[in-house]
Structure 1
Amino acid sequence: MRQDTHVITRFIAILLLVIPGLLATFGFLTMKNVIFDYIADHGNDSLAAPSFGWLPFLGGFIMFAIGVAFIGGWVFYRDRKRNYVAPRFRKKKGPRPASFKPMIDQQATAREGSSSEPPASP
């Protein structure tokens, strides 16, 4: 049973990459066809003023951009996780929050702050 779930999860992971890839491909082909039709219409003598199909071109561009952005983001996330990226793209390691410090450090800080001696004047 465990082997079956592993195969299914791998299949779902592949689908998550194939679907944006197909979307980007379809968007690219749509843009290519709109440009080709516009250039081909210039050679058609029966048309006085060929028009450019802006709506299909923008739709294709949006599909292409979404597909490429998804795949690029996935590759970047994977490479960042495996530490394959340049130093400027690595995760920033900030200071640890006070709540995660060991209990001994918190107790020592509490003792230092609650001393019975008055603070020294300058």
Structure 2
Amino acid sequence: MARLIAFIILLIPALIAGAGIKFMRDTLYGILNSPFPWLWFQFLIGLIFSIIGIGFFAGYLLHRDRKRGRVAPRFQKKDETKEIKQ
């Protein structure tokens, strides 16, 4: 059950990113979708959706890899307690 919930949590940002890519593609072909009054606004919303969706997925992967210790040293979290003591 937990894997299904995790899959759904990752599916929602993927769908948002896909919708954003579709809005940007439609703008390039001059197709105006119904909720948007202008093409530039449709492209802007598509860009925002894409950034949010891809960013959420990338953040999830970074968090998971940090937890397992599979990231490069520059992506590891700094230990704040050591910095305060020094």
Structure 2 match to 1:66? 52
Residues 36, 97 of structure 1: alpha-carbon distance in 2 compared, 3 angstrom cutoff: closer
CA distance in 2: counterparts of 1:28 and 1:62, whole angstroms: 10
2:2 to 5, 9, 12: 9
Q: TM-score, normalised by structure 2?
A: 0.80
Question: Which consecutive unaligned segments of at least 5 residues does structure 1 have?
Answer: 1-7, 39-51, 99-122
Q: RMSD over aligned Cα, in angstroms?
A: 2.1
1:29 to 14, 18, 22: 22
Residues 97, 54 of structure 1: alpha-carbon distance in 2 compared, 3 angstrom cutoff: closer
| 1:32-89 Cα shifts (integer Å, max 9, x gaps) | 1111127xxxxxxxxxxxxx71111111111111100000000010111111111111
1:80 to 66, 71, 75: 66
Question: Aligned residues, how many?
Answer: 78
Structure 2 match to 1:95? 82
The structure where helix makes up a greater share of residues is 2
Which structure would you say has the larger Rg?
A: 1
CA distance in 2: counterparts of 1:70 and 1:10, whole angstroms: 18
| 1:91-116 Cα shifts (integer Å, max 9, x gaps) | 22343989xxxxxxxxxxxxxxxxxx
AA at the equivalent of 1:74: Y
Q: Percent identity?
A: 40
